[in-house]
Structures are given as structure tokens and as C-alpha cells.
Amino acid sequence: MPPTLTEYERERQANIEKNRALLQELKLEDGPSSLGFVSINPPKGKSKASTRDGGAKPVQPKKAAGKKRKSMGGRSNKDEDDDDDDDSEEEVIIRRMPTRRGRKSAIDPNETPAQRAKREKEEEARAAREEQERLDALELAKKASQPRHHDLEFAEILEQDKSDDEDAKNKHRAALMLELGGLCNDVYPRARAEGERVKATEKERMKKEMAKMKVVARAKVTQDRVYSMAYHPEKTKDILFFGDKHGQLGIWDARAPSDEPDDDDDEEAAKTKEDGKYWRLQPHWPATSKSSISGVKFDPVDAHSVYTSAYDCTIRRTSFTTGISKEIFAFEEFLISAFDFTQNGHELWISDTKGGVTHLDMRQDRHDAQRFQLSTKEKIGCVSLNPVDNWSLLASCNDRTLKIWDTRKLMSMPAQERDEDAVDRSSALVEPYEVDHDDVTEWMKDKNDGKPATLRGSWTHGFSVSSAYWDPSGTRILSTCYDDHLRVWDLPRKYLLPDEPLKSFRPAVSLNHDCQTGRWLTVFKAQWSQNPDVYPYFSVGDMKHSLKIISADGDMMADLKDKSKITAVQAVTATHPRVIGRAASGNASGRCVLWSVDD
């Protein structure tokens, strides 16, 4: 043996020689073939060495089944789901964490017991440190994925270009504050007095005006799918607010001079040109589909404030004058699907995906809110409060019903007792007083004190009812349903005044309309114009990429389309609350369109 070998290597070599001599004695020197086993030859073109050195690829993880599926244009059961999309289009990355074994350095075979003890102590300390770092990272990730309940300044939630310096960011923020602060404080026009209606002769004049409407501005206002929107009542501008799938609030001044230079010779640039100016805020968190903005509404007495509800279980008020987004309400477990104001702007009625409706008086402690379980388990996707009487509440539900509830009767119901000492009034999360479904049902069986009139009327649709709204006069109802119909009810005030259930609650108008938006489009929700000084009409998106404007009696006022500029379904729509001939829409990519008469 070579004299340079260590004692360990000499001992190892001696063992090899002994084993070889034993195999020769047993006549097994050829290995497994000596026992009759057949060797498996490697595939042609690949040597044993190449296979051993990495020629054979490891098994690759399969993509999760069903994560990306093609929409069939509708839902098999025709019922609306909870819109809790998991971001199925996002790539799933499987990351292999380094192991201690993989990081082990070679151990000196000649180390002393003292050296070994020192090494093991260092390894334990390193392992403990790495474990703590891992736990800290998990805690940070957990906090980053939870809703934010504190007040948020524009500097914190305004999307900024990362390449901009601090001066550029300050100018961007100042431009937004200047834009919003300069808006008029004219609120949405008030509903008309009882029984007062605009004559039908006005409709023909409006029809001629709307025939001139065309696309006048386009921009990608939000990064993701538009879920909701509101049109500011400012007459001199077109200021639009869009809520998207990932909790972002886009603000678009559609007619403002664009920052992009005009290039009349470049047709491709003209097609993708961003019109107007827009800003993006992130009031709801995390920036995932868990924070989709389900509703956007302006304060009915202060048009310098906008309210947003989202699937992060919160409602926030964003003030244009202070530049602060403040949380108004937060559930612990109920996803908020919609909300509506009383006319004084102090009270909210809030619907959730578990079949409940909650009353919140913002002048009181949020923990005094009261929740009524109006459906056994089905989502209530929309609520609308009558703007004239302020107590007739519409609730549209996945159980296929549209119901009118008397909120005065609801508020007189006794709530379940709760341990007041256990209520943490300093907590942002609210556990309201509860009135369960059985209590509501038993209450209405009592014939005394007009309790049966708690439920004024109910109409069962063919499938899920996506939305239902009162018009500005408080005498008409508009519903959108997955049975491919839009329906209009005509309810003069005299029918709602008696303290009893309606004798008849049938729609006066029923229109065929394709409502099969599928999984990848926002659900259609036909919207009334909030202008009470004109003949009532509403807007709705269409699967053929148009925006339809329809009168209350079902007459088509305008079918707006432009194949050269519009190539996607305009799912979310709104009309200007004070000016005829202005409408806006948004699609699944966050691109928004302003339609108006030719100036």
C-alpha cells in the first residue's frame, strides 16, 4: 500500500481486499449476474455515466387540476357564486428550502472531542437562529396578507412609479389632491316629491340626444377587473371612480389633458392611447381577490367623500379634503357584498355573503350595529333603500328571491343577548347584535302590531338575483337576474303606505337580456340613472360588447357600440347623475370607457 495513505484509508483498503477474496472463494466475483439476475441496459444514446451525472430528469410537479379552465359562458346551476376567485391564473412556484444536510461542511475525521462539541454547539445555534428567522418571515407574511384597520394617508395608498424621485411622487400626490379638492360639493340630486313624475314626452327628446353618444375617452384605470363604479355629480367634468378585483380604487378624470404626447401619424399608438388622467389608490388590503371592491358610493350629503366596501370585510371612507382613508366598519368573518345609505348620510344598511343584512348608525359605536339573518344561508348580493321613505329595503338573494323589508319593523325586533363584558370595544372587528332567521320568521307570524308587514313583498325569479335597485323617485324597482331577464316594477307611493304586505308584487316590464357572464366577467347589474329631473332610464352591459340605455317602460334609448375601439364586454356601467348623454363603462382588464355626445 502507498505510504501516503492515512490509517483510516489503509484500514478501508484492507477490508476491500478481504471482501474481494471472499467473493472469489464463493465464485461470486461477477456480482449479481453470478446469481442469475439479468442486468438492465441503459437506453441507447445514454451511457451509465450520463444517467448518473444527471441525464435523467427528475419528475416535474403537475399543475393543479382545474386551476385554469375555460368558461362555458354560463354557470351550470345558473346561480351566482360568492365571487371568491382564487387567483387561478397566477403561476404556482414550488420553492425547495435548503436543508441542514445540504449545507453541512466536511467533518474533520481527526477532530478532537472538544472540537466536536464546539462544532455541534455552533450548528445548534445556527439552526435556532435560522428557525427564528423563518418564523419571523412567516409572521410578516401573515400580517401583510391581513386587512388594514388604521387610517391610511394618500401617501401610503397612492400608486407611485418606483423610478420616480421624492419630488415627482409629491407632485403626483399633490395633483390628485388638487383635482379632488376642486370638485364641487354638489351631492346627488334629491329624489322627487311623492307622486311627482316626469312626463313621457320628455323621452323622445332624450332619445335624440343619446343617439349622438360615442366613445370620447379610454384608459386602463385599474390594474385588474372592474367590479364596481360611481360617477361623481360634478357637472363640468367627468370624474369616475372604479373599484377593481384586487382592492384598488381607480380615479379617472376622463377629459383632462393627457400627459401622453399626440402622434396623429401612428395609428397603433392612437388605438392604445390613454385619455385623461387617472390615479390608483389601494384602500383595501391585501391586494388580492380577497379584497375585491364590491361597492362604491358617494356620501349623500358630502360629495367630497367616497365610501367603498370590499371582500376584506371592511367599509372605508376616503376623504378628498383630508387625503385620508378611514375604516368605518369591519366584520370578522362576513364578506360585504353591498351597502346603501339613508338620505341623512348617517346610517348604512350592509348586506353580506352569508345571508345577513346589518344596520350601522355611524353616530354610535360600531359595536352597537345590529345584524338580521334574512336568508338561511344564501348570499344577499345587493341591498337598496328607498330614497323617499327611507324604510323600504330591497334585498336580492341567491335563493332567487327579491324581497321588500320594512326596516322600521326590523329595528323593533329584540336581538339575542350577548355578554357585554366580553365585547372588546377597542377592537376594529365587530360582532354585532344578532337576530337569527328563526327569530325573524317567528316575529312575522305574530299578527299583532303589524308584524306581518315586516316583509312587504317577495318575488321569486328563475335563478339568482344579481341586483335590485330603487329609482330616484322611489316608485320603481329594477332587477337583474341569471334567468336572462331584466325586470321593472311600478309601485306608486300609495301602495307602500298602508302598514300591511303588498296585495300584488309583480313586474310591469320584463326584458330578455343575456346575463351569462361566466367566471371571468363581472356580473351584470343594471343601474338606474340618478337624475330625477328626466324620464327614468337605466344602463346595462351586453355580451356583444355594447352599452345599452333603456327607459323604465322597456324602450331602447341607445345601443352604444364601437367595434374599432371596443373589443371586450362592458360589464360595469353608470350614467352621469346630472347630465343627459354621458355614460361610462369598465371591463375585465381594468380598461374604462367614457361615452358622450360629440362636443
pLDDT tens-digit profile of 332-391?
889 999 999 999 999 999 999 999 999 999 999 999 999 999 999 899 999 999 999 999
Name which of 280, 330, 315, 337 is nearest 84 in CA terms.
337
The set of cell numbers assigned to 523 is: 356580473
Q: Which fold has domain 152-596?
A: Methylamine Dehydrogenase; Chain H (2.130.10)
Residues 6+ apart with CB under 8 A from 443: 409, 413, 451, 454
CB 452 within 8 A of CB 501: yes
pLDDT tens column, 317-330 = 999 999 999 999 99
For residue 299, pLDDT beyond 60: yes
CB 389 within 8 A of CB 408: no
CA distance 469 to 489: 10
Q: String of b and e for 354-386 (b: at least 16 CB within 10 Å)?
A: bbbbbbbeeeeebbebbbbbbbeebbbbbbbbb
Kindly state the average pLDDT of the residues 14-21: 84
- Quick one: residue 265, left, alpha or beta (phi over 0 = left, psi -120 to 50 = alpha)? alpha
Give me the pLDDT at residue 214, please.
Answer: 96
Three-state SS at 251: strand
Most confident of 75-89, 95-109, 256-270, 289-303: 289-303
CB 595 within 8 A of CB 275: no
Three-state SS at 289: helix
H or E element at residue 358:
strand 356-361
CA distance 85 to 242: 19
SS (H, E, C) 157-185: HECCCCCCCHHHHHHHHHHHHHHHHCCCC
pLDDT tens column, 137-187 = 888 777 777 888 999 998 889 987 766 777 887 888 888 888 887 776 666
Give me the pLDDT at residue 50, please.
Answer: 43
Give me the pLDDT at residue 202, please.
Answer: 86
For residue 73, pLDDT beyond 50: no
Name which of 585, 590, 477 is nearest 539 in CA terms.
585
CB 238 within 8 A of CB 253: yes
Residues 6+ apart with CB under 8 A from 439: 413, 414, 416
pLDDT tens column, 42-71 = 455 444 444 444 444 433 333 444 434 333
Q: How confident is the model at residue 35 (pLDDT cuts 50, 70, 90)?
A: low
Domain definitions of the chain by residue range: 152-596
Q: How confident is the model at residue 261 (pLDDT cuts 50, 70, 90)?
A: low
Averaged pLDDT score across all residues of the chain: 85
CA distance 360 to 351: 11
The set of cell numbers assigned to 126 is: 445556527
For residue 558, pLDDT beyond 90: yes
Give me the pLDDT at residue 373, please.
Answer: 97
Give me the pLDDT at residue 148, please.
Answer: 87
Q: How many CA atoms lie within 13 A of 241 on its CB side?
A: 26
For residue 453, pLDDT beyond 60: yes
pTM for the full predicted model = 0.77
For residue 268, pLDDT beyond 60: yes
Residues 6+ apart with CB under 8 A from 303: 183, 184, 185, 186, 187, 188, 232, 233, 234
* Residues linked to residue 586 through DSSP beta bridges, in sequence order: 572, 592
